[in-house]
Amino acid sequence: MESTSELEDLRNTVVSIEESIGKRVIGSRRIVRFMFIALLTGNHILLEGVPGLAKTMLANEFARHTKMEFKRIQFTPDMLPSDITGTIMFNIESRKMEFKEGPLFANVVLADEINRTPPKVQSALLEAMEEVHVTVGGETHSLPKPFFVIATQNPVEQEGTFPLAEALMDRFLFRYYLDYPSREDEINILNSMGNSEDPSIVLLPDEIMHFRSEVDNVYVSDEIKEYIVDLMRKTREDELVYLGASPRTTSKYIKAARANALISGRSYVIPEDILYMAFEILNHRLILKPEAVVDETDDIKNIVKRIVDKVVSETPYPK
């Protein structure tokens, strides 16, 4: 396990990056923390919100502050899997068929409006996210490491959207809802325009891979493990939930809690690590019964929030 000083350095670096990105993307500090947790656990994050909330700028700033190669893919209904994975082309000079890499070959990939593309393309993205490679023409090509997908999707009520398959949704560690900024934040956005200095504090890719290898060494007590299991089991017992959180969610939750502890400068998990991310890790993993939605004015997000809050309140807090 890392020494106390090294953990403190990591905490200070992440906090500084959160503050730095927050100057460019107002109101983003909490989102950046979730992005770091997903990155250090080898997972990915889904941002949901209407267009114009600076999701592209946020992804770009995150890549700049981690010195990782960044690429953006604008998903459309007419895309093919080869548009993101790459394709095999004939090289006139060498007179050979060669693989030409697609935009997935980067460290940080912004998958913009992922629910506007058909299932075959979503399936290709799923392979990349889960296996960290793509398969083209029967050959497997490894993606760069670290590999991190920041996907965005429009609210499902909008036209021209394809619902994401449950298997793909489950590969995102978090779904983070983005709302319109407050009046004060919107004024600050106008004041921050044009401020694009190179970041003075960064977390390098090699450091990211190093700390990623340390996540599993963070101590989790038996009481914390039992608490997470009880939370997950409680979601399966709620009368409004058709399918609750799976055992895979339980293992992902433990790892995410470990990563948050590491980022916070600790070598052990505390209950606050669990509560901090409860809604973001569960909101896209609970499938509600039809009777959960009383009428068309009900917001699914708010219904799930109430269920998660209820699950947390009814689960005995670890001593």
Look up the CATH number of the domain holding residue 314.
1.10.8.80
Here the CATH number for the domain that contains residue 130 is 3.40.50.300
Which two tokens mark 102?
Answer: 């697609």
CA 314 vs. chain centroid, Å, equals 27
Query: Would you state the pLDDT for residue 157?
Result: 56
Query: Would you state the pLDDT for residue 296?
Result: 60
Query: Would you state the pLDDT for residue 6?
Result: 87
Query: Would you state the pLDDT for residue 97?
Result: 82
| Residue 250 falls inside a structural domain | yes
Domain range for 254 is: 218-319
The residue whose two tokens read 């052990």 is: 268
Does 286 lie in the same domain as 181?
no
Query: Would you state the pLDDT for residue 188?
Result: 79
Q: Taking phi first (over 0 means left), then psi (-120 to 50 degrees means alpha), and beta for anything else, what does residue 3 get?
A: beta
| Residue 161 falls inside a structural domain | yes
Dist. CA 242–CA 289, nearest whole Å = 5
Does 182 lie in the same domain as 231?
no
CA 146 vs. chain centroid, Å, equals 14
Does 272 lie in the same domain as 211?
no
Q: Are strands 133-136 and 86-91 parallel, antiparallel or unpaired?
A: unpaired
CA distances from 232 to 37, 72, 243, 286, 311 (A): 20, 35, 11, 10, 9
Dist. CA 40–CA 61, nearest whole Å = 17
Three-state SS string over 197-240 comes to: CCCCCCCCHHHHHHHHHHHHHCECCHHHHHHHHHHHHHHHHCCC
Each residue's pLDDT, cut to its tens digit, for the chain (319 residues) gives 667 888 888 999 999 999 988 888 888 889 999 999 999 999 999 998 877 778 888 999 999 999 999 999 999 989 999 999 999 888 787 778 888 999 999 999 999 999 888 888 988 998 899 999 998 888 899 999 999 999 998 776 555 667 777 777 888 999 999 888 788 888 877 777 766 677 878 899 999 999 999 999 999 999 999 999 999 999 999 898 998 999 999 999 999 999 999 999 999 999 999 999 999 999 999 988 888 887 666 788 889 999 999 999 999 988 7
| Residue 196 falls inside a structural domain | no
Query: Would you state the pLDDT for residue 23?
Result: 84
Strand ranges inside the chain, DSSP E: 44-48, 70-74, 86-91, 96-101, 108-112, 133-136, 139-142, 148-153, 172-177, 241-243, 287-288
Does 144 lie in the same domain as 4?
yes
Q: How many helices (H) and strands (E) does the chain have?
A: 13, 11
Q: Are 103 and 109 in contact (CB under 8 A)?
A: yes
Convert 8-35 to b/e letters by CB count within 10 Å (16 or more is b). Answer: eebeebbbbbbebbbebbbbbeebbbbb
In 3D space, the residue among 189, 274, 212 whose CA is nearest the CA of residue 43 turns out to be: 212
Does 147 lie in the same domain as 234?
no
| Residue 197 falls inside a structural domain | no
What residues have CB less than 8 Å from 307, skipping those under 6 apart?
235, 238, 240, 241, 286, 288
91 - beta bridge partners? 96
Q: What is the pLDDT of residues 51-91, one digit of tens each?
A: 777 888 899 999 999 999 999 999 998 999 999 999 988 87
Does 258 lie in the same domain as 140?
no
- The order of strands in the sheet holding 172-177 is 70-74, 108-112, 148-153, 44-48, 172-177
Query: Would you state the pLDDT for residue 118?
Result: 85
In 3D space, the residue among 53, 284, 319 whose CA is nearest the CA of residue 176 turns out to be: 284
Does 166 lie in the same domain as 231?
no
Does 5 lie in the same domain as 106?
yes
Does 8 lie in the same domain as 136?
yes
Does 168 lie in the same domain as 63?
yes
Report the number of distinct structural domains present in the chain.
Answer: 2
Does 174 lie in the same domain as 31?
yes
Average pLDDT value for the chain: 89
End-to-end CA, the chain = 25
Q: For the chain, state the CA radius of gyration.
A: 20
User: Domain boundary residue among 182, 216, 250?
Assistant: 216
Query: Would you state the pLDDT for residue 299?
Result: 81
